[in-house]
Structure 1
Amino acid sequence: MTELSTLARPYAQAAFKRAKEVGAAGVWSDSLAFLAQVMQDKALQAVVDNPRVEKERLLQLMLDISKGYIHDEAENFLKILIENDRLKLIPQISELYEQYKAEDEGYINVDLYSAYPITKDEQKKFVTSLEKLLSKKVNATVKVDKTLIGGIVAKAGDKVIDSSISGQLHQLEKRL
């Protein structure tokens, strides 16, 4: 995963730089998110992985799939990715782009993992605590992870705040 992020970083930076130049950060965000979602399809991944599929045919397929969902500059970006055999990096590019966008706009995206669904009031309490801790506005997404047993894990970029029971048990195991 780290290697893919390293390869994706220059593309994400270029996309973000261009989006800032033309004032289209949201449009780029939508286009990259759509392409990342498209790349999750197993049948499409098989086509992308097939060395017998010519780049021109792959480009035409991707343009047909995304017609009306991505803007012209994103189509050009897609062409560059295909020419450089970097199409599989789109999910990482999209993720990095969102991090750059969030940082630029003064907020941070945080994934909250809980063993059980949490209420809006509990989420608001966690978000308020994280905003104080991180000194930024927090945009939180809550996900359920039964392996945590209890508690919360917050992931903000490369920072992880683990207050889960399974995390505490792991720390206790390390100390023993």
Structure 2
Amino acid sequence: MVSSKVSNRYALSLISIALDKNMLDTVYNDVKLLIGAFNDSDELQRVIESPVVRPELKISILDEIFSGKIDKETTNFIHFIIEKRREEILYSAAEKFIELRNEHLGIVELVVKTAFELNDDQKAELKERFEKILNKKTILNFNVDNNLIGGFIAQVGDTVYDASMKHQLELLKKEFVQGGLSLN
């Protein structure tokens, strides 16, 4: 809980800097790179969050990875967090920044799990439908889930839109049972 509050404060300060300096898109892209690096390497995240590794070494490692790839303002923000020995909230502060940025721009980000890879037309149609449902701009992140038979499951925050084949069959079964029909 404390880490969540702390990461929120750091994310708020970063978005404030980004808005003041008219760098929201630049910082957003930088933060996505940082999150991507952490997601791609558990070892990197472990080293950065380790209390045993000196802050100077952590800064050196991140500077080496992101040299010429992220803006000086984002670099300064990362350095500040590490110098304050708050490395454990770097990832969550980055995620919270993205949430705040999307909220500021009226964007909703959804994770969409599908049974198979969708083509561009199908993705565009889903995006259009969710924008109508949510009455906001959307960013859809697609993942293939081999456990799905068909359809999709979309999640935004705590809300789940389950249009999977399995869910549809469960609803059908429920209707049969409520109607007094036996499936045996």
Question: RMSD value over aligned CA atoms?
Answer: 2.8
Q: Is the 8 A contact 1:36 1:90 kept in 2?
A: no
| Structure 1: gaps spanning 5 or more residues | none
Q: Distance in 2 between matches of 1:9 and 1:105?
A: 18
* Number of aligned positions between the proteins: 174
Amino acid at match of 1:20: L
2:143 corresponds to: 143
1:13 corresponds to 2:45: no
Q: Distance in 1 between matches of 2:2 and 2:167?
A: 26
Q: Which moved more, 1:48-57 or 1:19-28?
A: 48-57
Amino acid at match of 1:12: A
2:122 corresponds to: 122
Q: Which moved more, 1:46-55 or 1:68-77?
A: 46-55
Normalising by structure 2, we get a TM-score of 0.78
Q: Is the 8 A contact 2:49 2:87 kept in 1?
A: no
Q: What fraction of aligned residue pairs are identical, expressed as a percent? A: 25
| Structure 2: gaps spanning 5 or more residues | 179-184
Structure 1 7/148 Cα, relative in aligned 2: closer, same or farther at 3 Å? farther
1:45 corresponds to: 45
Q: Distance in 1 between matches of 2:122 and 2:47?
A: 44
Q: Is the 8 A contact 2:150 2:165 kept in 1?
A: yes
Q: Distance in 2 between matches of 1:102 and 1:69?
A: 22
Structure 1 167/61 Cα, relative in aligned 2: closer, same or farther at 3 Å? same
Deviation at 1:127, TM superposition (A): 1.8
